[in-house]
Amino acid sequence: MNDLLVLRDGDDVAVATRDLAPGERASAPDGSTVVVRDGVPRGHKVALRPVTLGGHVHKYGQVIGVATADVAPGDHVHTQNLGFDPGEREAPLGGVHTELSVPDGEPRPTFRGYRRADGRVGTRNYVAILTSVNCSASTAKMIADHFRGAALDEYENVDGVIALTHTSGCGLVPDSEGGQVLLRTLRGYAAHPNVAGLLVLGLGCEMVAGAALAARSGTGSSVVTDLGMPGVGAPDPETSGLLAQIPQDTVVRSMTIQETGGVRASVRAGVAAVREMLPAVNARQRVECDVSELVLGLNCGGSDGYSGITANPALGWASDRLVAYGGTSVLAETPEVYGAEHLLTARATRPRVAKRLLDRIDWWRGYVAAGGGTLDNNPSPGNKAGGLTTILEKSLGAVAKGGQADLTAVYDYAEQITGRGFTFMDTPGYDPVSVTGLVAGGATVVVFTTGRGSVFGCRPTPSIKVATNTPMYERMTEDMDLNAGRIVDGTATLADVGAEIFDRILAVASGERTVSEELEIGAEEFIPWHLGAVT
């Protein structure tokens, strides 16, 4: 293993593969060396050539910032001498096409999933208690707590009973952007193919009507079974046509705390409702499904200087393989593609796809400015400790999760993912909010890369966590599913790890549990994006 990684010819910096001390002579793969002038932590940048004050600094063959002081070969390049550069980047509206291929002579991959009545395929079989408002959150958790431990032992095909609670649901203008985002998110979870049983729980006086969330479009009152108690019944047929499509074979119930008689009565009624659902949910069976039925969410959190070198491009390899087979992958985190958006728009299949991404970037500029910030407020302190200095550098590594496939669509937050191929969803960079949008859109598996050590999970969709570096993986091995740090260690190639990620996606989609699922992490990470004023 060399001391330095040079990512592109002509780069001004290299990445340290180990901690480097002042005075050491560090070697690069081409045999060149540089004398280290400062202590440089593993994953941080070392200058390969001089850069004068105000000059652009290149990594990945792209500008990652501007020198805020003269930089000499061997210098540690970081916050003390590298700053954000808001310079213009030409963003082509398509034109770059990559022909993806699959291995010759190999059988087409399959997985064992739950085929729903609407044709979509789930990777899990959950009963979800979805709250329409924060006021019903505690009650929902009390109901779910009755089904922990051995309570589901006789239902081997039920992956769990989860309470999906949140902090909103009232005080928003329903037709506002924030109100519509919340409704779209809740409807997306209600209709998710990983949910086979649904109990919508409301307080009774909130903005979001619980019974409306429980409705199927075009089916009116026949969807919800009356449980024979106050406050539990059918949705309003007048509004059901506006709602997301809940599969016809999803068992659905709806109730409100006020009409049912308070918290204790609602817990009793809710537990009874879930118990009534369990036999029908348990009767669902996994069947053989083509790999193209998967919808893969791509996300990262706690990134470091290795993210764009190991885990992210390895995930990009797996994403390309899935897309080549006709599947769907979805990149997200709009503030964390800022500075690399031109690499995505160049791959757009149509100019309007590229334009939609650029329009979302422009919206974000205004959004953060209204809050007194700018898009270069990122990276976080943890990212910087891991070696990332500017948002440009972070974004260039983040887009590697999307591989090389053509960009076929750009979706709004929590919008239903209806097309195939490599796509993008507009979300914040905050991990739980971002992945909540992806799952609401229909992602059935998530792969989450991390360099600092995120402990993320996102039920009802399984989340595969991939470590970017070996030291962190070994330190947090009980919280990581895969180690991509072997790419830097020299014990595996990028293609090796990419193939391992792809194989793990298929195994997890078929029922193999991830480490976050073993710990039952994922319900608290349901956090819809909050937009707009609360009145």
Contact partners, residue 237, CB within 8 Å, separation at least 6: 220, 221
* CA separation, residue 158 to residues 76, 130, 152, 290, 495 (Å): 53, 17, 7, 22, 35
Report pLDDT for 244.
58
Same domain for 450 and 419: yes
Same domain for 509 and 376: yes
Q: What is the CATH number for 278?
A: 3.40.630
Same domain for 326 and 211: no
Residue 505 lies in a domain: yes
Report pLDDT for 215.
77
Instruction: Report how far residue 345's alpha carbon sits from residue 351's, in angstroms, rounded to the nearest whole number.
Output: 8
CA dihedral 131→135→136→139, nearest 10 degrees, is 140
Same domain for 298 and 234: no
Report pLDDT for 284.
97
176: left (phi over 0), alpha (psi -120 to 50) or beta: beta
Give the pair of three-digit tokens for residue 170: 């009232």
Q: Are strands 328-331 and 421-425 parallel, antiparallel or unpaired?
A: parallel
Residue 353 lies in a domain: yes
Residue 217 lies in a domain: yes
Give the pair of three-digit tokens for residue 52: 């004068």
Residue 305 lies in a domain: yes
Same domain for 252 and 334: no
Same domain for 364 and 262: no
Same domain for 477 and 427: yes
In terms of residue numbers, what domain contains 213?
Answer: 126-283
pLDDT tens digits in sequence order for the chain, 535 residues long: 789 999 999 999 999 999 999 999 999 988 899 999 999 999 999 999 999 999 999 999 999 999 999 999 999 999 999 999 887 788 999 999 999 999 999 999 999 999 999 999 999 999 999 999 999 999 999 999 999 999 999 999 999 999 999 999 998 888 888 989 999 999 999 999 999 999 999 999 998 787 778 877 543 332 233 333 333 333 333 333 334 589 999 999 999 999 999 999 999 999 999 999 999 999 999 999 999 999 999 999 999 999 999 999 999 999 999 999 999 999 999 999 999 999 999 999 999 999 999 999 999 999 999 988 888 877 889 999 999 999 999 999 999 999 999 999 999 999 999 999 999 999 999 999 999 999 999 999 999 999 999 999 999 999 999 999 999 999 999 999 999 999 999 999 999 999 999 999 999 999 999 999 999 999 999 999 999 888 8
Q: Around Cβ 5, how many Cβ atoms within 10 Å?
A: 21
Lay out the sheet containing 407-411: strands in order across: 407-411, 421-425, 328-331, 295-300, 445-450, 463-467, 482-483
Residue 534 lies in a domain: no
Same domain for 309 and 457: yes
Residue 327 lies in a domain: yes
Report pLDDT for 84.
92
User: What residues does 131 pair with on adjacent strands?
Assistant: 201
Same domain for 69 and 130: no
Q: What is the CATH number for 25?
A: 2.30.130.110
Residue 434 lies in a domain: yes
Same domain for 422 and 304: yes
Residue 138 lies in a domain: yes
Contact predicate 14/6, CB 8 Å: yes
Report pLDDT for 214.
83
Give the pair of three-digit tokens for residue 400: 């590697």
Report pLDDT for 243.
43
H or E stretch including 397?
helix 391-398
Query: Please, what's the b/e burial string for 338-366 (b: 16 or more CB within 10 A of its CB; e: otherwise)?
Result: bbbbbbbbbbbbeeebbbbbbebbeebee
- What's the burial of 225, exposed, middle or buried (CB within 10 Å: 0-12/13-18/19+)? middle
Last residue of a domain, one of 19, 54, 83: 83
Gyration radius of the chain's alpha carbons: 24
Instruction: Report how far residue 502's alpha carbon sits from residue 466's, in angstroms, rounded to the nearest whole number.
Output: 12
Question: Taking CA 309 as the corner, what is the angle to CA 315 and CA 399, rounded to the nearest 5 degrees?
Answer: 55
Last residue of a domain, one of 48, 83, 118: 83
Last residue of a domain, one of 283, 303, 318: 283
Q: How big, in percent rounded to 5, are the helix, strand and coil portions of the chain?
A: 30, 20, 50
DSSP calls for 437-467: HHHHHT-SEEEEEESS------TTS-EEEEE
Task: Please give the tally of structural domains in the chain.
Answer: 3
Instruction: Report how far residue 210's alpha carbon sits from residue 200's, in angstroms, rounded to the nearest whole number.
Output: 6
Same domain for 337 and 310: yes
Same domain for 325 and 418: yes
